[in-house]
Amino acid sequence: MKKKRILFLGILVIAMIFSACSKAGGSELKIEAPPEINAELQPYDGDFFNMKLPKGWEIKTVGEYENFGFRAYDPEKPSRQIFFYGNMKYFMKSSEGKEAWNRYMAEGGYADAGVYADAPVLSPATTEEFYNTFDEFASYAKKYGIDHDFPVFNDLEILETTPRNSPIASNCIEDSILRVLFKNDDIPCEGLFAAGVADTMTSYMYDVDAGYYTVYVITGISAPADEFYQLKDTLLKSLSSFKYTDRYIEQGVARSRWGTELALQVGRTLSEAADSYNEAWSNRQRVNDALSQKRSDANLGYDRLYDTETGEVYRAELGFYDQYDTHREEFENIDLQPVPDDDYGLYEKEIKGYIYK
């Protein structure tokens, strides 16, 4: 009996050793480290304004005073960006209003009226519709001499809308923050955009309102969808650091009656951008976290996996997991599982690495 017990224990120990050796000798996963993101903020002196920008970023400006705007971006991956525009105009209230100006031009109206006849239509007058019309406005602006590298939002999709409640909100029909998905150079991107739409002029012509809207304090941050959670706070700090110099504000008042109150409103709105965006983000619908990341993964040809022991998250080349799951005992790491759709915390985590077949 004693000999049988010793024999059994011997066999058990050998099996355990064999199992351990088998695991230790299993195939290594082919994991590639994700690209390093330099998000260190550095002071930027724009002569009449100053702010903090991520190291190595470029900034393009346009206009002055109330018409001033900028887009700052990473030249290595331009979808990492922030932008601000004091206002954009003109936007017709309806296609009938736009047609009224075209009729006026056809009947010999003054040539400068073309700026209204060519303007895009903003209907309904919402922040969402403004961003849906953004690319059309960029083309319109270029036609009228505004040469600027505006951001491009291909396949734009609005996920959520939240009131911004900025200092300009009381003068707007709508002043909102949007959570968006879009593509830039075929890269799935995510962002937070904001703008306030105001009814600037009512003018009846041929029995229709041919007046126009102006969109104020247009701001936004964006990044590739799989980086957005990690970069969001840095991008917001950069955007909210923008500030005009006192001298520039004084010059604006003297030259164009650009009131100090307007300057203060713009300054407050940008300095409060982080707070308002963070509030919108904290109140977001978490189900959209999974939607955003799964779309990004699918578009780029990956599945998202996580290590059940360490909690680390990986992107795996499509087809890898099926092969791995069938033969997981052949790998050193046998703890990988697909990220569940409802585990939003895992979707927020930084990608630890990329796994290839």
Of 216, 189, 218, the C-alpha closest to 200 is 216
Query: Token pair 């075209």 is at which residue?
Result: 102
pLDDT for 324: 94
pLDDT for 257: 84
Question: Where in the chain are all domains bearing CATH 3.40.1000.10?
Answer: 41-290
Of 231, 135, 131, 213, the C-alpha closest to 179 is 131
Q: Over 50: is that where the pLDDT of 6 sits?
A: no
What would the pLDDT profile of 40-57 be if each residue is shown by its tens digit?
999 999 999 999 999 999
Cα separations in angstroms, 239 against 54, 167, 219, 236, 244 = 11, 17, 8, 5, 13
pLDDT for 261: 82
Per CATH, is 41-290 categorized as 3.40.50.720?
Answer: no
Q: Over 80: is that where the pLDDT of 274 sits?
A: yes
Cis omega (within 30 of 0) for bond into 163: no
Query: Strand, helix or coil at 16?
Result: helix
pLDDT for 15: 41
Query: Token pair 């951008």 is at which residue?
Result: 273
In this prediction, residue 27 has a pLDDT band, given cuts at 50, 70 and 90, of confident
Cα torsion angle, 322, 324, 325, 330, sign: positive
Mean pLDDT, rounded, for 5-33 = 55
pLDDT for 56: 94
Task: Quickly count helices (H) and strands (E) in the chain.
Answer: 12, 17
- CA 64/CA 250 separation, integer angstroms: 13
Question: Mean pLDDT score of the chain, rounded to an integer?
Answer: 90
pLDDT for 260: 83
What would the pLDDT profile of 139-195 be if each residue is shown by its tens digit?
999 999 999 999 999 999 999 999 998 888 999 999 999 999 999 988 999 999 999
pLDDT for 93: 98
Could you please report the per-residue DSSP string of 252-286? HHHHH---HHHHHHHHHHHHTHHHHHHHHHHTS-T
Higher pLDDT, residue 36 or 216: 216
